Homo-oligomer: A and B are copies of this chain.
C-alpha cells in the first residue's frame, strides 16, 4: 500500500542512498538518474514517512501551538483564532505544519510544556497567553527551543514576543473620552491575573492622572473578559451613590454586558459613554454601536510567524515588537458639554 524508499530504489534500479539524495536535493546526482527516480516517485505517489525522516534528520517541520493559562475558551476566542489564522498562513508557506497540543490528558495541570515539545521535537513554538500562565511555560521559554509569545513577555535566549501596545490602548481611550468631554471614567478590567489587563489598567491610571483627573477606587472593577462579568460589574457601578458616566471596559464582551446592565436597570444608554476593546464583529451591530479599540490581529499573526521563522533558521534574534492599536469610533460615546 504505502511504499518505502527501499522499494522505490528497487523499482528505479538504484540504491536508497541515491533516492534519499534526490529527495533532499543533493546536487551530485546524475540528471538521468534523478529524472528516472523522480518519475517513479511521481508515478507511485511516494512520500517519505514523516517519523523516519524526523528521526534521522532531527528536524520536524512542525510548530507547536500552545494556549497558555487557564483559558476555557481557547479556540473559541476570536482574538486567538484570528492571530493563529494569520500565523498559519505565513508559516505554512515555509512548509511548517501546526501541532495543536491538547492539554486534556497529557497535561491536566498545565505542567510540562517543554517535555511535550521535546517529545514531538518541534522546530519552534507559538505561545498565546491567557490568564494565569502556568509556571512550566518558563522552562520552555528558557530552553533552546525557539518560542514566540503573543501577549506574553518571553525572555529566554531563544524567545521573542509580540503584542499590541497595550499602554497605547488606554491612552487612545482616555484621550478620546477627554476630548469628548468626559471626566469621570470607570474601568472594568479582566482578571487580575491577566498581565494584559493590568498593563491597560496601569496605563489608564497614568493617562487619567496626566489630565489631572482622579479615579475613585470603587470605579475600578475586575471581570473576566466575558459578557456576564461586564454585566455584573456595571450593575455594581450603578449601585454606587456616585455613578460614573463613562466606562472603559477591557473587552468588547464586557462592554456589551455593561450596556445590557445599563438598559436592564432602567437607565438611558445614551447618557453613558462606553468604550470596549477588541473590535469583535458584534461591536458593529450593538445598540448603540460600540466605540472600541482594534488590535491588528492579522499583523500580529504574520509578524509572529516571521519572527519565529527567523529564529528557527537562525537568521538572528528578533526584538520584542509592539503593534499599534487603533481607535474605532462608533456612537457609544457622545459629546458631553462641561
Contact = CB atoms under 8 A, between A and B. Distances in A.
Number of this chain's copies in the complex:
2
A120 B144 CA distance: 25
Interface stretch (A237-245, A277-285, A306-314): A277-285
Interface stretch (A30-38, A78-86, A159-167): A78-86
Contacts of A88: 75, 100, 102
Contacts of A65: 100
A60 interface: yes
A85 to B, nearest CB: 4
A102 B91 contact: yes
A267 interface: no
Contact of A281 (B54, B103, B281): B281
B92 A104 contact: yes
Interface residues of A, number: 58
A115 B45 contact: yes
Residue from A51, A85, A286 whose CB has the most chain B CB atoms within 10 Å: A51
Interface in A70-118: 73-76, 78, 81-82, 84-85, 88-89, 91-106, 112, 114-116, 118
Contacts of A48: 119
A114 B2 CA distance: 11
